[in-house]
Chains A and B, each alone.
Chain A
Amino acid sequence: MSSISPQDIKKEFFKSKMGIAGITILTILILISLITVIIIPIETFQEWNNPGSWITYPKAAIPIWINLFLFEKIPEHKILTDPNIENISNDEINLSSYQFSFNFEYDQFPNDFIYSYSSEYINSPLLEMSVIRPDGIKMKLFSTSLPHSDVVTIHQDRIFSTDAMIKKELIINSEEFRFEIDNLSTEDVIFSKVEFNEPLKGNYIFLIDLYEINEKSKITESNLIIGGKAFGIMGTDELRRDLAIGLLWGTPLALFIGLVVSISSVTMGLIYGVYAGFKGKKTDETLMRFNDVIYALPALPFLIILSVTISNSIFVMIGFLMIFGWVGIAKVARSMSLQIKTRGYVEAATMMGQKDSKMILKHILPQLLPYAFASVAISVPAAITTEAGLSFLGLGDPSFPTWGQILHDANTFGATARGLWWWIVPPGIMIAITGLAFVFIGNALDAIINPKLKR
């Protein structure tokens, strides 16, 4: 117990390498949280568990940057939403052409392709889909007339690469290819070289043509998905969710859980311990017995029972974590306040008839503040890992994409057995980095407050 002024602590703190490292990591994490909250739409967070909102994303896709290290490039998942529109009118026939152009530079065939559209029309226009390949061959893939309607209607549909008509159209084109295409899936033919069945690299143009007579209809929504095996900076999971978004949302959540739990349990512990120590005698005895009881409760089994029987809401969980967090701090705070109590100025203040509450708040608590800050920092990682552990067991709040929740999903879908490392490694690293930041800060503060450890 020493009385160092806050300025001294600050000066000392920024002298220690550990402290600076901790503060730097923490600042980065806070920045990530802010950016996430401001930039990433809140819907991604609310819709995290809604499979419908992730339908356009690929399943268990590897991060795209892996292609930088690979000789054989893995096809990226492409979502093309912005076609080039051309309108050609010829006497009575109107043609609106929607062109998706993209570069295909990979050494594997894409998984599939899906074209989804919504069209506003009258009568019965003809919709035709074709592709112009890098070698100039144009292949018709699909044609259909939209269901007849006398009034203006909106029609939504999807064309899948597995459609039987595409297959038929390709077989008509089979003389272009010098190999048997009957048993190949459509994307393996469309994206293949003509000589042998290997991906043909270059610029592909997918054309969606809408033919009609006298009328002028349009496709209001139009997007083409070229299904690949790589997507995003962090890849996707089995439920097609973008892991980058999950990891980003996990940051503010982890900081929130860690800080709320540690700050409130340290505050509780401090007040409890100081009060016990200051009052002494019977009060002290009773309070410390109660403290012993809580201390001896096995925390994890209890947390599990509580979350199963009462509620697994994240806020209730924070409350539970607090119940087990304050005990150790109360013990130390008590012994510290026992020491401070004997100091001259405290005794003087008692003699002057200061109220207990004032004594504690004005004279004793401020002395314990440096210790309190160090304890907050040291107890954050435990709160974060405990929450992650509970979530990992499937006892967490499923509506929040915490890192533990992501790891739980990874475990459920057998990510370890299937080698989906991008699903397992980043959440754990994030947990560890966040923990490290606070451990660094805590250790640096501790070294200043307890100069003994510096030796």
Chain B
Amino acid sequence: MKKYIAKRAATMFGVLLITLLITIMLVGSNMDTILKQGVVFQVRSEITENPEIAQSFSSVQEFEGYIQDRTDERIKNLGLDEPWYSPQRIGLTMYKIILLDFGQATFLTSDLGSSDVKEIIFEKLPRTILLFTTATILISIIGIFVGALSASKIGSTIDRITSSFAIISSSFPVWWIGMLMIFLFAFTYQIFPARATPDIPASSPEYLGALLYHMTLPLITIVMIGFGSWAYLVRNFMVGIMQEDFIIAKKAIGIKQSKITYTHALKNAAPPIITILALSLSGSLGGAIITEAVFDWPGMGRLYFEAITVMDLPVIIGATYILTVFFLVSIFIADLLYGYFDPRIRTNTE
């Protein structure tokens, strides 16, 4: 088991590094330009802040030359004179990012006005977790009950409705349903706000309440689209278990059907369900980008979308990193759970 965990952890860490490397490679050249522009800007603003230096020049050429020299010097000091793809620079960037030092955002700021990428991300992340974790938990609870119910009455109306609802709901893009929900419940019937960002400042005490109220519509949408496929999945697991000998034996003894379904069968279906839960918790974070863009939910997904729109590279890199970390951690946990519940997996790979 230990060897198995170590092996998986090593793979995951490798993936993390590769993801980071690919991201840096993709945005590297743009990043370089932006950093250099930043240096020039810094030098110029320092000069404007000190009128004495500015006055000491006799001609424009001299002034520009001075700026050029200072800029070059600083670029050299920062190591920016090497091309962005040089191993040292990539190594340094990756090292910084692993330690969560993402630098300063170019355009975006946090609600409190900070432009430190780490602060921006850690301000948005809890909101995404709040919305999507709540949604996933609701989805799994509803899904397990509906799934167990339809598994106990195979072929009944409830079972058929569940199965068709699962198939149909999984074909609709969540963000499109989101648009419809906004159309219906924010504009036609004005029950919920259309934009999910509360308009009161984050520091005020009513903020949490406002956030929860603004969360309702996206939450309903995600749960509505999500629970069908969960129910279908749980149903299929349960159907398999219900045909096992021990269940049939329990039936023969005369234990009530509902007790068999909800205790004995569900218990045995738990391992795969828990594994999938771990996976979908992280999967929901990745899928959040479009959903949050539609509902204007002030979380990681919208941050990511905004960063892409204005090409705020430090934010893009930081957010990708955090998303990847979450994704990998949950895959890792799912893997471990799977290996724990099903020893065959472990022995196979060892």
B-binding residues in A (CB < 8 A): 289, 292-293, 295-302, 304-306, 308-310, 381, 385, 388-389, 392-395, 407, 410-411, 416-417, 419, 421, 424-425, 427-428, 431-433, 435-436, 439-440, 443, 452-453, 455
Query: Interface readout for B283-317 with A: 1 if CB under 8 Å, 0 if not?
Result: 00011011001100000000011001101000010
A297 with B15: in contact, given A395-B308, A455-B243 (CB under 8 Å)? yes
Interface residues of B in 138-177 (CB under 8 A from A): 154, 167-168, 170-173, 175-177
A301 with B15: in contact, given A385-B173, A394-B309, A424-B180 (CB under 8 Å)? no
CB distance from A135 to the nearest CB of B (A): 40
* B320 pairs with A301, CB closer than 8 A: yes
A417 with B194: in contact, given A301-B323, A305-B320 (CB under 8 Å)? yes
9 A-B pairs whose Cβ atoms sit less than 8 Å apart in the complex: A296-B12, A299-B286, A308-B308, A407-B176, A419-B183, A428-B172, A428-B179, A432-B168, A435-B172
Bound CA–CA A80/B175 (angstroms): 40
* A443 pairs with B11, CB closer than 8 A: no
A-binding residues in B (CB < 8 A): 11-12, 14-15, 18-19, 22-23, 26-27, 30, 154, 167-168, 170-173, 175-177, 179-180, 182-183, 186-188, 194, 236, 239-240, 243, 286-287, 289-290, 293-294, 304-305, 308-309, 311, 316, 319-320, 323-324, 327-328, 331
* B304 pairs with A293, CB closer than 8 A: no
Q: What residues on A are CB-neighbors of B319 within 8 Å?
A: 301
Identify the 5 closest CB pairs spanning chains A and B, nearest first.
Answer: A435-B171, A428-B176, A296-B15, A416-B183, A432-B171
CB distance from B152 to the nearest CB of A (A): 14
A301 with B304: in contact, given A389-B290, A452-B240 (CB under 8 Å)? yes
* A424 pairs with B15, CB closer than 8 A: no
* A308 pairs with B311, CB closer than 8 A: yes
Q: What residues on B are CB-neighbors of A416 within 8 Å?
A: 179, 182-183, 186-187, 194
Q: What residues on A are CB-neighbors of B316 within 8 Å?
A: 305
Name the one of A304, A421, A433, A436 contacting B308, with C-beta atoms under 8 angstroms.
A304
Cβ-Cβ contact count across A and B, 8 Å cutoff:
130
Interface class of chain A by DSSP: helix
* A298 pairs with B323, CB closer than 8 A: yes
Name the one of B18, B26, B182, B236 contacting A305, with C-beta atoms under 8 angstroms.
B26
* A393 pairs with B305, CB closer than 8 A: yes
Which residue of chain B has its CB nearest to the CB of A305?
A: B26
Bound CA–CA A453/B237 (angstroms): 10
CB distance from A235 to the nearest CB of B (A): 15
* A393 pairs with B286, CB closer than 8 A: no
What would 18 more interface pairs be, CB under 8 Å, given A428-B176, A432-B172?
Answer: A293-B15, A301-B286, A301-B319, A302-B19, A305-B26, A306-B26, A381-B170, A389-B173, A393-B289, A393-B290, A416-B194, A428-B177, A431-B176, A432-B173, A433-B171, A439-B171, A440-B167, A455-B239
Q: What residues on B are CB-neighbors of A425 within 8 Å?
A: 180
* A392 pairs with B309, CB closer than 8 A: no
Which residue of chain B has its CB nearest to the CB of A304?
A: B308
* A298 pairs with B286, CB closer than 8 A: yes
A407 with B179: in contact, given A301-B320, A305-B26 (CB under 8 Å)? yes
CB distance from B290 to the nearest CB of A (A): 5
Bound CA–CA A124/B30 (angstroms): 62
Q: What residues on A are CB-neighbors of B320 within 8 Å?
A: 298, 301-302, 305
* B173 pairs with A436, CB closer than 8 A: no
CB distance from B142 to the nearest CB of A (A): 21
Q: What residues on A are CB-neighbors of B19 within 8 Å?
A: 296-298, 302
Bound CA–CA A182/B168 (angstroms): 57
Which residue of chain B has its CB nearest to the CB of A435?
A: B171
* A388 pairs with B26, CB closer than 8 A: no
* A424 pairs with B183, CB closer than 8 A: yes
Bound CA–CA A292/B172 (angstroms): 29
Bound CA–CA A296/B329 (angstroms): 10
Name the one of B30, B167, B177, B327 contacting A309, with C-beta atoms under 8 angstroms.
B30
Q: What residues on B are CB-neighbors of A301 within 8 Å?
A: 286, 289, 304, 319-320, 323-324
Q: What residues on B are CB-neighbors of A431 within 8 Å?
A: 171-173, 176
Most B CB contacts (10 A, CB to CB) among A299, A301, A393, A433 go to A301
CB distance from B41 to the nearest CB of A (A): 23
Name the one of B11, B170, B182, B183 contacting A292, with C-beta atoms under 8 angstroms.
B11
Most A CB contacts (10 A, CB to CB) among B12, B167, B194, B239 go to B167
* B327 pairs with A424, CB closer than 8 A: no
Most A CB contacts (10 A, CB to CB) among B172, B239, B287 go to B172
Bound CA–CA A306/B25 (angstroms): 11
CB distance from A321 to the nearest CB of B (A): 15
Q: What residues on B are CB-neighbors of A385 within 8 Å?
A: 173
* B287 pairs with A300, CB closer than 8 A: yes
* B304 pairs with A304, CB closer than 8 A: yes
Name the one of B15, B171, B177 contacting A436, with C-beta atoms under 8 angstroms.
B171
* B308 pairs with A300, CB closer than 8 A: no
Most B CB contacts (10 A, CB to CB) among A292, A293, A416, A452 go to A416
Q: What residues on A are CB-neighbors of B27 within 8 Å?
A: 305, 309
